[in-house]
Structure 1
Amino acid sequence: MDDIFVARLMTSDPVTISADTLVEDAGQTMLENGIGSLIVVDDDGHLEGILTTTDFVTIVAESFPKAQTTVSRYMSTEVETASPQQPILEVADAMLEHGFHHMPVTDKDDSVVGIISTTDLAGYLSKI
């Protein structure tokens, strides 16, 4: 498994949103696409953050009027990333160490090119 790289397992063209997306719209996007996270990017496709289903727990727990609340209030901005050519074992170790379920994949310019998830890892492992 040392020769398996992130590029082989990642989801290419992940669903992305901007930081000014309304929380309600972000939630609907996640439901419609059956996904557990949205990568937040700027107008040039560069990573700004990530919004996950775990972040929605905070939104609900705070129980405030949710109208007109944007993703920027809840997204994580300190985001660990992987590169497409990074060994998958290295990425799996980092995800396990930090308790991540999703990790954006970025190129050398910090543009998002994919996302790798624990579901991707489990799917791969079930086939070997």
Structure 2
Amino acid sequence: MSVPDRLAERLAQEEELLRQAFPNATIDAEALVVALRDHPLPAGWSHADTDVLFAIPANYPAGQPDNICARPDLTLAGGATPGNSQGVQQHAGRSWLQFSYHIDPNDWHPHVDPVQGSNLADYLAGALSRFEEAS
């Protein structure tokens, strides 16, 4: 089994876990991204909701995801640029405002069974904390 086949199999295993935690989330195995539609944002942002995306590394699950993206026109309510934003990036054929979000490598524990180790749903849950306070 080639590495891409192994990765595709892993992503298929994780899709159900992801959908259980985030019904609006999808995995695009071709573009290697996870997308979450219409994530509600708390007060303090320029929009009430945003689509969210993060890239899946080609060496996943050994390699952990890094950074999270939101709609490119997202600002703080007053129009200021959010902290830790890294500018507009292209992913899966769209423009996204990328935010710095990292997991300490010592906290990433993949397992052959995605339920028993670190997985995409866990990463998304942590990454969404970036939007809990507008800053």
The TM-score, its normalising length taken from structure 2, stands at 0.28
**Which structure shows the higher helix fraction?**
1
The TM-score, its normalising length taken from structure 1, stands at 0.29
**Which structure shows the higher strand fraction?**
2
